[in-house]
Structure 1
Amino acid sequence: MGPFLLGFAIFFGLIIIITGIFTVKQQTAAVVERFGRFLSIRNSGLQFKIPIIDKIAGRVNLKIQQLDVIVETKTKDDVFVHLKISVQFQVIRDKVYDAFYKLENPQNQITSYVFDVVRAEVPKMKLDDVFERKDDIAIAVKEELNDAMMDYGYDIIKTLVTDIDPDVKVKEAMNRINASEREKVAAEYEAEADRIKIVAKARAEAESKRLQGQGIADQRREIARGLEESVDVLNNVGINSQEASALIVVTQHYDTLQSIGSETDTNLILLPNSPQAGSDMLNNMIASFTASNQIGEKMKEQNKAKGIVNKKNKDNRNSNDNNDLEF
Structure 2
Amino acid sequence: MDSGIPNFVFFVIVAIFVVAVLLPSMIVITGQQNVRLIETFGRFSSVRQAGLSFKLPWPIQTATSNFSLRVREIAEDVGVKSSDNAFVVVPIRVQFAVKEGGERDAFYRLDDPDAQIRSYVVNQVRSTASNMTFDDLFRSRDAFETDVERTLAVRMGEFGFKIENVLVDDPQPSVQLREAFDRVIAAQRLKEAATNEGEALRIKSVAAAQAEGESLRIRGEAYAAFRNIIAEGNAEALTKFTDKTGLIEKDALDFFISVNEMEAVTTAAQAGGRVVFVTGSARSGVDKAVLGMVEPDGE
The 2-side partners of 1:81 and 1:41 are apart by 44
SS in 1 for 2:171: strand
Partners of 1:73 and 1:80 within 8 A in 2? yes
The 2-side partners of 1:49 and 1:292 are apart by 150
TM-score by length of 1: 0.53
The 2-side partners of 1:21 and 1:156 are apart by 28
Equivalent residue in structure 2 for 1:150, among 157, 166, 178: 157
Matching residue's letter, 2:184: I
Equivalent residue in structure 2 for 1:189, among 192, 196, 208: 196
The 1-side partners of 2:132 and 2:284 are apart by 97
Count of aligned pairs: 235
- Tell me whether 1:60 sits opposite 2:68 in the alignment: yes
Please say which of residues 121-130 and 83-92 is displaced more in the overlay.
Answer: 121-130
Counterpart in the other structure of 1:204? 211
- Tell me whether 1:167 sits opposite 2:174 in the alignment: yes
Please list every run of 5 or more consecutive structure 1 residues that lacks an aligned counterpart in the other structure: 1-15, 254-268, 274-287, 296-327
- Tell me whether 1:31 sits opposite 2:53 in the alignment: no
> Cα gap change, 1:33/1:131 in structure 2, threshold over 3 Å: closer, same or farther?
closer
The 2-side partners of 1:78 and 1:92 are apart by 38
Matching residue's letter, 1:221: N
Partners of 1:91 and 1:99 within 8 A in 2? yes
User: Deviation at 1:230?
Assistant: 4.9
Partners of 2:145 and 2:167 within 8 A in 1? yes
The 1-side partners of 2:92 and 2:149 are apart by 10
The 1-side partners of 2:175 and 2:227 are apart by 77
Counterpart in the other structure of 1:41? 49
The 2-side partners of 1:31 and 1:88 are apart by 19
User: Deviation at 1:75?
Assistant: 4.8
Matching residue's letter, 1:203: Q
* TM-superposition CA deviations, 1:78-111 (whole Å, max 9, x none): 6543221232434434545554555454332221
The 2-side partners of 1:187 and 1:107 are apart by 55
Equivalent residue in structure 2 for 1:112, among 116, 119, 123: 119
Superposed, 1:283-302 pairs within 5 Å as 291=283, 294=286
Matching residue's letter, 1:194: L
User: Deviation at 1:124?
Assistant: 5.6
The 2-side partners of 1:102 and 1:180 are apart by 55
User: Deviation at 1:208?
Assistant: 1.7
> Identity over aligned residues, as a percent?
31
